[in-house]
A = this chain, B = another copy of it.
Amino acid sequence: MKSPKDKIFSFYISRKRMPSYAEIMRLVGFRSKNAVYKLINRLVEEGSVLKDTTGRLIPARALSEVPLLGLVEAGFPSEADAQTLDTIDINEYLFDHKEVSYLLKVKGDSMIDAGIHEGDLVMVERGRSAKTGDIVIANIDGGWTMKYLRKKGDKTYLEAANKKYKPIYPEQELQIAAVVKGVVRKY
């Protein structure tokens, strides 16, 4: 059986707003708005819900947050500790500048030694200056690739993270379109 709190948060997730007191009343099965009022006060006190200056409800923490455990080697905490865990929002973790961020699906194995496999999504930021050693999305002599950006003397070139492939020295122009800032893989 779902707790009142879960029902309220489910409402928020599906409707993208908090329910009104009358709606919570129907949701939870109360016959009085005042019962809701007291329920909400309890939730506010325990910190899982906040109130606006106007009294309207907002969820206390981003519902997209996920518990972040420590290192793998530390293993799992007991269920009892689960409440005290740190949580992070993977969106906020991954995207610093959402306006210039894009996701690209990876094809090929040229960056496999950098831990980027075929089928992964790479998060790239467009229009940022790339430093030597960055992984970049580049347009070289007409074709697009993802490679390490390297420099030898004053010559800039691209290098794969896979011994199968040779470094690429641009014949005409080397245009950096975006810098790879993150990787997401799903099994």
| B-binding residues in A (CB < 8 A) | 15-18, 52, 56, 58-59, 62, 64, 66-76, 88, 90-91, 93-95, 98, 101-108, 112, 115-117, 120-123, 126, 134-135, 137, 139, 143-146, 177-178, 180-187
Contacts and interface: CB of A to CB of B under 8 A. Distances in A.
Given A71-B105, A73-B144, 12 more contacts: A16-B62, A17-B56, A66-B103, A67-B103, A68-B103, A72-B108, A76-B126, A76-B137, A112-B115, A115-B117, A182-B185, A182-B187
| A95, A104, A134, A178 pick with most chain B CB within 10 angstroms | A104
Given A73-B143, A75-B144, A88-B103, A182 B177 contact: no
B181 A186 contact: yes
Contacts of A182: 184-187
Q: How many copies of this chain are found per oligomer?
A: 2
